[in-house]
Structure 1
């Protein structure tokens, strides 16, 4: 982990919208309207148990407006894919696929076209025409985002090795790695996020079905964050160690934000022909990091705070001030020792300690039950975004690998790197510049 996580990142230029659909009453999606109609048909089955609840859903034959959580939506189409700068949602699915034997470039293009059309409908709150699942009929888009990416092996399987970006070379090994190859890498990657668990699962299930015979599931990971509105005021999120996590994440308002996070326009002299199709895109590093919570929880509060470099209560740096006060890495305490210890996480992860290396972290927590020894199988689904992982994730992780006091309480168990191209216009699909260029 690095002290740059963002669970409350500022919105993108094409931010959330709650405009009503032209085909439904204000505040009501077509998906929700169909769900209400279905409920009327089945009313006789539940009248004894739920008549009161059913009556509360509509006044004068019109469904109640969706809540703010349900109505929040982000556009699928645009110069950049959603799911990068938008606030990390309460529920997430990260899933990787491998192309089936015999599925080449043409089949991959058809799959991305199907996936893109489905994601566009779901993110707008519409029901795809051939969707018979009925999982989220009465829900709005609930801040749904669907993001697509390509792994290193995708280019071999599609005969596009000459267009594979240099930045997509496999990540180096780190001493703390204990990686499971079955839960790492993959030809294709989908990140799904939503503030409603059923909306997120609906998207996952429908996209998996759309894969058909073209692609096979390689691995899936499920994550979560705090639900919007769970705190009295907007606040930086906490991880499963109880630490406020995300204070120093770069913000879209920062002057160098785009330079650190997004691949420059293809007209930039630094972008070679292999990278031109990635203009406006980003590179996602995905790591499953198990937290050794039983060991961590046995530490004193003072010890935990020294390892992180921040107070647990409010996230303020041990060098003084409030959560957002810049960290003073040179400050010395009354005892003559550094206020921020030499191996404190925020010192080792700081851009000042890594020659300015920066990345946008957008992670999710996970809990997959308990291990055989009774320890929780829980931690962080680390997702970070950068214009070049060799200038973002890799130098920071190398530094953490060598000198971070937090590292002995973490186990890196899965890893992947994906090229996430820019967005697409209406009528196009994600990756079209690569597959048809």
Structure 2
């Protein structure tokens, strides 16, 4: 797998040093560097509402989902965590990884164009804002998440290459949306790849995530139809005594060296600048998402000894430390040899090949979900990684890394890329705006 496939580091699950900030969010209007503040959830509000209930949201939103007895103490604060819809960037990019995820692509219906797309994005944005605040979806809510809080729900929207021809906006299509090149590990199913529109949904509660998925699908109405949809998961927050780097389905720590927002060059690597010659102005503060469904050939992988698995990856399975020693975050010594003069980290080890200093500084922000879609007739699991990575420019991020992996990654033998997509994700919507408004009303 690529270290795009097995993220070697991540923002989404904080390091132990960052764990104190795990359950906080920014309020609307705060800058991205502001001090985070605790989110307020539907559940927390309802706990103080008494038996008479509570009206939530904007005028006309209706009565809140439930009324808790006065003085009721919630079992956990997990459901109270809230991400903000409005901001400089869309949600779902730099937030901590959520326990449940859905990826879904839509194609515009026959005859639908720019006008219908604008109306759809307006509906989706309104629904996303409400659901992320822990409110009902609005008209015709399904009540699936009636008893839950926001649960760190995020919804993120993007445009595929085909969207621009369908809406007569070809002149506004970014060069960065040019098709990805073919790679040797590709066995792509076109029916589960690409799409006019893409939506990423994440939450810490499965019902909250499904509620959002169903609301988005219903909002599409006659304007768009589902092209493909995939379901994923991660470790549930609170399952460990303190926050740890996630493990993927191969049992490896997955996300040790992701770029972090505190790094000085984070924004220039991950987000499109507000002004630049390459990208159209509507993409300011946006990012490009590469989405890959990567099957892990687990039957073959699990036949390997522990030592063989660690040599494939270049890191210890127990704690994610490099084979050259130290802790998970200790720098890898690429020149260290053993008593026989052999490199301790093999030349084709995944972690060696994907290091930014081995790829001209190329870096991506990996934010994946694991998936399991049952078993094949021979008993082999259809399982792996819903790989999502973010970058300001895929030709400087994902593409050079994947090309390098194509030339000799030891992990390639144990994975297969089965679906692929590339989407332009515009910057966040300001208060009163909908996502993509600067494109669709330009």
TM over 0.5: yes
Displacement of 1:102 after TM fit? 0.6
Whether 1:218 aligns to 2:218 is: no
SS in 2 for 1:179: coil
How far 1:68 moved relative to its partner? 1.5
Q: Compute the displacement of 1:18 (Å).
A: 1.9
Query: For the structure 1 residues 212 and 59, does the alpha-carbon distance in structure 2 shift closer, same or farther, using more than 3 Å as the test?
Result: closer
Q: What is the CA–CA distance in structure 2 between the aligned matches of 1:114 and 1:208, rounded to whole Å? A: 11
> CA-atom RMSD, angstroms?
2.0
Q: 1:370 to 1:25 in 2, by over 3 A?
A: closer
Query: Once the two structures are superposed, what CA deviation does each residue of 1:93-133 show, in whole Å capped at 9, x if it has no partner?
Result: 00000000110001000000000000000001111321331
Unaligned runs of 5+ in 2: 19-24, 26-31
| Counterpart in the other structure of 1:284 | 289
1:177 counterpart residue number:
186
Q: 1:347 to 1:262 in 2, by over 3 A?
A: same
Partner of 2:64: 34
Q: Which residue of 2 aligns with 1:4?
A: 8
Equivalent of residue 314 in structure 2, options 293, 297, 309: 309
Alignment partners' CA distance in 1, 2:256 and 2:45: 40
**Cα deviation digits, residues 66-89 of structure 1 (max 9, x gap):** 731100001101111000000110
Corresponding position: 1:380 with 2:401: no
- What CA distance in whole angstroms lies between the structure 1 residues aligned with 2:353 and 2:74? 48
**What residue is the counterpart of 1:45 in the other structure?**
none
Looking at structure 1, the residues matched to 273 and 367 of structure 2 have their Cα atoms a distance apart, in angstroms, of 21
**Cα 1:208–1:66 shift into 2, 3 Å:** farther
The count of residues paired between Structure 1 and Structure 2 equals 412
Instruction: Specify the SS of the correspondent of 1:388.
Output: coil
Measure how far apart 1:21 and its partner are: 6.5
What is the deviation of 1:364? 0.4
SS in 1 for 2:390: strand
User: Quick check: which one's helix share is greater?
Assistant: 1
Indicate yes or no: 2:172 matched with 1:163. Answer: yes
CA contact (8 A) 1:123 1:144 kept: yes
Match of 2:277 among 271, 278, 283: 271
1:51: which partner in 2? none
Does the aligned pair in 2 maintain the 1:5–1:363 contact within 8 Å?
no
Aligned mate of 2:340, from 335, 339, 346: 335
- 1:175 to partner: Cα distance: 1.1
Which of 143, 148, 158 aligns to 2:152? It is 143
Q: Which residue of 2 aligns with 1:362?
A: 367
Contact 1:82 1:145 in 2 (8 A): yes
- What CA distance in whole angstroms lies between the structure 2 residues aligned with 1:188 and 1:372? 33
3-state SS, counterpart of residue 227 of structure 1: coil
What is the deviation of 1:370?
0.4
What is the distance in 2 between the residues matched to 1:212 and 1:426? 25
| Contact kept in structure 2, 1:243 and 1:312, CA below 8 Å | yes
**Structure 1 residues 17 and 104, CA, compared in 2 at 3 Å: closer, same or farther?**
farther
Q: Determine the structure 2 residue equivalent to 1:191.
A: 200
Q: Structure 1 residues 16, 123: closer, same or farther in 2, change over 3 A?
A: farther
- Aligned to 1:399, which of 404, 410, 414? 404
Query: Larger deviation: 412-421 or 27-36?
Result: 27-36
Structure 1: runs of 5+ lacking an equivalent: 38-57
- In 1: Cα distance, 2:421 partner to 2:155 partner: 18
Q: How does 1:60-99 map to 2 (within 5 A)?
A: 60=70, 63-65=72-74, 67-99=76-108
Once residues 87 and 140 of structure 2 are traced to their aligned partners in structure 1, the CA distance between those partners, rounded to angstroms, is: 24
CA spacing shift, 1:295–1:132, aligned 2, 3 Å: same
Counterpart CA distance in 1 for 2:48 and 2:254 is 34
Report deviation, 1:141: 0.3
Q: Structure 1 residues 331 and 98 mapped into 2: Cα distance closer, same or farther (>3 Å)?
A: same
Q: Which of 262, 269, 282 is the equivalent residue of 1:253?
A: 262
Give the drift of 1:17. Answer: 3.6
Query: TM-score of the superposition, structure 2-length normalised?
Result: 0.89
Distance, in Å, in 2 between the alignment partners of 1:138 and 1:232 is 26
